[in-house]
Chain A
Amino acid sequence: MDSLVIDIAILVLAGFVGYAVISKVPNTLHTPLMSGTNAIHGIVVLGGLLLMPEASGWFEKLLLVIAVTFGTINVIGGFLVTDRMLDMFKSKEPPKAEETAEGEDQGSS
């Protein structure tokens, strides 16, 4: 099979995986989720790393260094800030946390 076809197949399947995994997230965790997925698209940093050896001339090198800088900010900042947020959820009520998350739609009444 043409590798382009394979790549597009991966693209489509990954879309469904993302949908399936993420549609289950409770409302309360949407902000950390947004921040966490935000960190994951920092994967673009790989693009900078892949192209760097082929860069010719100072202009391309400069562009790629900026791209790697941007990507690194995205990845490191994103994961750290998500971790900080989630830590606040975790440390509170360890025994109750899970029960609450699952009992949310039953309500309190």
Chain B
Amino acid sequence: MSVATIFLQSQNFIDAAYIVAFGLMIYGLSGLTGPRTAVRGNQLAAAGMAIAVIATLLRKGEFHGSGTVWLIIVGAAIGTAIGIPAARRVQMTAMPQMVAIFNGVGGGAVALIALVEYRHHFGGGWALRVEIFELFGAIVGSVSFWGSNIAFGKLQGILPGRPIKLPGQSFINLAMLLIAVASAFVLAAGTHSQALFILGILGAAAVLGNMVVLPIGGADMPVVISLLNAFTGLSAAATGVALSNPVMIVAGMIVGASGTILTNLMAKAMNRSVPAIVAGGFGGEVAAPVGAPGAKGGTVRSTSAADVAIQLSYARQVVIAPGYGMAVAQAQHAVRELEKALEVKFAIHPVAGRMPGHMNVLLAEADVPYDLLREMDDINPEFPRTDVTLVIGANDVTNPAAKNEPGSPIYGMPILEVDQSGSVIVLKRSMASGFAGIDNPLFYDPKTSLLFGDAKASVSGITSEVQAL
């Protein structure tokens, strides 16, 4: 064995590489604080990850046993073959699902690692450190895996987006949580039973993960994904403690912390509390009190692209309030053309789209200049001075019921106060209610007119009318 090999395999070298690795990850993440440094930040974090992986593979005895190297190659190759095309091809609108499924596989990996670790110590007494943290990782990782898969299914439209609620749901959830925790205690107390581990911990946590996410309505889903993201981070950190691996601890914990912050920010933007979301989402509330669309009475006024174009051309200030509907219709590029033909600002609600900042990504994809985007708190005072507000595929985030109707399920949620502007034009496909399933009084406001149809076609129509004027 050469001197160089001995040096590279020494624990000191590997530890030093680990420190460089998590240093890069932290530095990279701090780069994500600004759009200009963000790309490099992400690349630095990825470089940190690569260093951590390489250092781990250098470990003495890593390739002990003939098959190890091939098994690792097979796993890494399959993962790469799935990961790269998925990341390359995913549409920007489908980003929440993508994050959900990537998060899910991370949680699944934690749970599987915990199971293998358990089998190794089967019958032969664990060190307490390994035991407690591995059991925690198994439960949380499993919840995260199943919960994320359900979230993916709902966002992707494989499962119905509406809340699915079973009778006695909270009781089942509580029972599953108790079974998982009780099994963990029994195992930690010295019982060695693989069946107990698999059924009691992984099984109960799996049921829990499914049951917790199934009743959550579509609008709350980003909060849930963020929460599960934090969970996976924490379970990765726990696995790191069990394996006494500093880079896993640091990386996992940073994700745990950031996920928690993000979850709270998102919940706050929607005026929801995280416990309330987890306990059942909009579930029961939506069906009963809100009533059928149109129940508020009043008629809607529809308009034509030509009329809209005239209104826009004579307006001194035009604001566009985009929503997820715009993205679904793939109307971003048409909106960009309209933006070029007129002078407009964009009002971006913190949860416009389906995740915080999602709308910024979607508009950035369409080359809309970054400096035209205004955050909710900056644009709201401007609405009274705005002549025309164009609402494209946004619904719940413009719903004045959030301000005026204490009975509404979204009462208290901060909204874009588009109803303050001179007139409002809503581009809608039909009179169906929004993601949250709540009727929007904005549509019946006398100064609102609706332009029905596919958002992309409508926007293109308006643009060509504006250009013709």
Interface residues of chain A, those whose CB is within 8 Å of chain B, are 3-4, 7-8, 10-11, 14-19, 21-55, 60-61, 63-90, 92-94, 96-102, 104-105, 107-109
Contact = CB atoms under 8 A, between A and B. Distances in A.
B420 to A, nearest CB: 14
Interface string B69-92: 001101110111011101110101
Contact of B116 (A64, A79, A97, A101): A64
A45 B381 CA distance: 48
A54 to B, nearest CB: 6
A53 B65 CA distance: 7
B370 interface: yes
B248 A46 contact: yes
A41 B95 contact: no
A47 B110 contact: yes
B116 A60 contact: yes
Contact of A30 (B71, B74, B255, B265): B265
12 contacts: A3-B244, A17-B257, A18-B29, A40-B251, A41-B103, A43-B252, A47-B110, A49-B62, A53-B64, A89-B35, A90-B35, A109-B382
B142 interface: no
The 9 A-B residue pairs whose C-beta atoms are closest, nearest first, are A72-B79, A68-B75, A18-B257, A18-B254, A77-B83, A80-B87, A107-B378, A14-B253, A30-B357
Interface in B148-190: none
A87 B88 CA distance: 13
Given A11-B241, A41-B233, A64-B112, A87 B39 contact: yes
A32 to B, nearest CB: 6
Interface of B: 25-26, 28-30, 32-36, 38-39, 41-43, 45-46, 49, 52-53, 56-57, 59, 61-65, 67-68, 71-72, 74-76, 78-80, 82-84, 86-88, 90, 92, 95, 98-99, 102-103, 105-106, 108-110, 112-113, 115-117, 119-120, 129, 225-226, 229, 232-233, 235-237, 239-241, 243-259, 261-262, 265-266, 345, 348, 350, 353, 355-358, 360-361, 364-365, 367, 369-371, 373-375, 377-379, 381-382
Contact of A34 (B25, B239, B355): B355
Given A51-B113, A73-B102, A74-B109, A89 B247 contact: no
Contacts of A90: 35-36, 38-39
Given A83-B39, A93-B370, A96-B369, A47 B254 contact: no
Contact of B241 (A7, A70, A94): A7
Nearest to B62: A53
A79 B377 CA distance: 31
Given A88-B361, A107-B378, A28 B373 contact: yes
A43 to B, nearest CB: 4
Nearest to A28: B360
B371 A42 contact: no
A78 B119 CA distance: 30
Given A10-B246, A74-B109, A33 B98 contact: no
A55 B62 CA distance: 11
A84 B89 CA distance: 10
Contacts of B345: 108
Nearest to B259: A37
Given A42-B49, A53-B62, A64-B112, A92 B250 contact: no
B75 A67 contact: yes
Given A41-B229, A48-B109, A67-B112, A36 B42 contact: yes
Contacts of A79: 42, 45-46, 49
A71 B79 contact: yes
Contacts of A45: 53, 109
A89 to B, nearest CB: 4
Contacts of B56: 46, 49-50
Given A40-B45, A60-B119, A22 B257 contact: yes
B255 A40 contact: yes
A108 B372 CA distance: 10
Contacts of A49: 53, 56-57, 62, 72
